[in-house]
Amino acid sequence: MIPKTEIRFSWIYNKMFNESLTPSEFIESKNEIQEFSNFYNRYIKKILQTIEDNNKPWQRDFIPIYIVFGKIRSFSDPLTIKYRKDFKLMILILIHELIHNNIRERYKNPSLAHKKINMIFEKVLTDMNFDGFEDTKEKYKHLSEF
């Protein structure tokens, strides 16, 4: 069964990564989070299903997804995504981090882990049949984030 996911936007969590964040900036950012949330809702179920189809059954039934404004790298546990204006790019990064969660094995060598992740990632993207994500895929390839 695919896990339930939920977008989380937490003041304390954001403050941990971004000390200069002010309460008013945080409140203003809620609109952007809502917009991203609407965008993500179009894809998330199919993404989770497609990852499972291309790797293995999910072992968690709930995965919260934290969004952070600030200069961070996205990471997989707890699943944390850096906010970007480019929602499509956020979706591709989310897929990457979700695959980490689906794999769950600990690799001593991160580049070996990423070989496997990239393999699954390519299959997921093919199966998702995203429309209009071509430029975003190029951007994703050149990220230094992983």
Kindly give, in sequence order, each residue whose CB lies less than 8 Å from that of residue 51, ignoring residues fewer than 6 positions away.
58, 95, 98, 99, 102, 120, 124
Would you say 117 or 128 has its CB closer to Zn ion?
117
- x/- mask, Zn ion, residues 107-146, rule CB under 5 A, reads ---------------------------------------x
CB of 130 to Zn ion, least distance (A): 20
Q: If binding is defined by CB under 5 A, does position 43 make contact with Zn ion?
A: no
Would you say 43 or 146 has its CB closer to Zn ion?
146
CB of 100 to Zn ion, least distance (A): 6
Q: Determine contact, residues 102/55, Cβ cutoff 8 Å.
A: yes
CB of 35 to Zn ion, least distance (A): 25
CB of 96 to Zn ion, least distance (A): 6
Would you say 87 or 146 has its CB closer to Zn ion?
146
Would you say 39 or 146 has its CB closer to Zn ion?
146
Q: Determine contact, residues 5/48, Cβ cutoff 8 Å.
A: yes
SS3 82: strand
Q: What is the DSSP string of 33-71?
A: HHHHHHHHHTTHHHHHHHHHHHS-----SEEEEEEE-SS
Q: Nearest to Zn ion by Cβ — which residue? A: 146
Would you say 133 or 146 has its CB closer to Zn ion?
146
Backbone angles phi, psi at 77, to 5 degrees: -150, 110
Kindly give, in sequence order, each residue whose CB lies less than 8 Å from that of residue 22, ignoring residues fewer than 6 positions away.
none
Rule CB under 5 A: which residues touch Zn ion?
146
